[in-house]
Amino acid sequence: MNELTIEDLLEEVIQIDNRYDIEAYLFIREGLDYTAEKLNKPRHVSGIELLEGIREYALQEFGPLSKRVLMEWGINSCTDIGNVVFNLVDIGLLGKTKEDKIEDFKSGYDFNEAFSRPFLPEKITHQ
């Protein structure tokens, strides 16, 4: 009897919700691990903590291409990150508490600001 792999489970999710590439799901899962380790929280992180961790992890992994890579995978906003997270919850790859809600991801950051600003040159001021 063959056991399902993560990729098999994600293929099932994509059949139900094809807005996001399989890479988006894998990246969000890796971003969760990055965030939990950074915060030294072995179990649960909040939506806001996860959004910040995902932002930092993307910038670390992809630098100035972060926004473009995420958009190619279908992730254009913090709400999209929440959708991916809750799709992973629905198939049992992530857990949640009673307090966790999809709305936690709606009050995140502006993608352009979060992923472009770190790479913009500082203004040169003349005195």
Model pLDDT for residues 52-75, shown as the tens digit of each residue: 999 999 999 999 999 999 999 999
Residue 124 maps to a domain: no
Residue 52 maps to a domain: yes
- pLDDT bracket for residue 119 (50, 70, 90): confident
Residue 13 maps to a domain: no
Number of domains in the chain: 1
Q: Classify 29 as helix, strand or coil.
A: helix
Report the percentage of the chain scoring pLDDT > 90: 65
Query: What pLDDT was estimated at residue 124?
Result: 52
pLDDT at 30 over 90: yes
Q: Are 53 and 31 in contact (CB under 8 A)?
A: yes
Residue 31 maps to a domain: yes
Residue 57 maps to a domain: yes
Residue 97 maps to a domain: yes
Q: Are 24 and 71 in contact (CB under 8 A)?
A: no
| Mean predicted lDDT score pLDDT of the chain | 90
Residue 127 maps to a domain: no
Query: What pLDDT was estimated at residue 5?
Result: 83
Q: The domain containing residue 31 runs over which residues? A: 19-117
Residue 7 maps to a domain: no
Cα(103)–Cα(117) distance, integer angstroms: 25
Query: What pLDDT was estimated at residue 121?
Result: 84
